[in-house]
Amino acid sequence: MAAPDFGAADLQLLQDLAFVAAGGAFVADTDAIAAGLAQLRPASAGPLIAQALARLNAGRADEAVACLQRELPGADGHEQALQQSFLGLALQIAGRQAESRRVLQAVAGHPAAGVARAMLGQAS
């Protein structure tokens, strides 16, 4: 049986579902959806970010940091900036302010790093 062909709208729907699950701190559900997304879009930061947000919402900040420290092979600068911005957020929530600031400052100049700039108090 051939693998289903997913279009952009299908992928967006799956990503939206992952973030809805993450918002509810449904870690296992988020992980299941994110695993599928990662197979379909291996260079996307979205699955890692969803997994990390689920853990942050579940009060598991150290696990969120670990999620966001994973390698993202083939990711372009945009995806890496997103990943690093959310890593800075997770580090801050985990109480690792110095590390958070270093990560955020390193990525703040990238156009996709609005989260990093906001956390540093810089204008977008």
Q: Determine the pLDDT at residue 21.
A: 97
CATH number at residue 26: 1.25.40.10
Q: Which domain holds residue 32?
A: 9-119
Residue type, 97: Q
Q: Could you tell me the pTM of the whole model?
A: 0.90
Task: Look at residue 4 and tell me if it is in a domain.
Answer: no
Task: Look at residue 124 and tell me if it is in a domain.
Answer: no
Task: Look at residue 55 and tell me if it is in a domain.
Answer: yes
Instruction: Looking at the chain, list the stretches that DSSP marks H as alpha helix, in order from N- to C-terminal side.
Output: 8-23, 27-40, 46-57, 61-68, 77-93, 97-107, 114-119
Number of domains in the chain: 1
Task: Look at residue 88 and tell me if it is in a domain.
Answer: yes
- 19-45 per-position pLDDT tens digit: 999 999 999 999 999 999 999 899 999
Task: Look at residue 2 and tell me if it is in a domain.
Answer: no
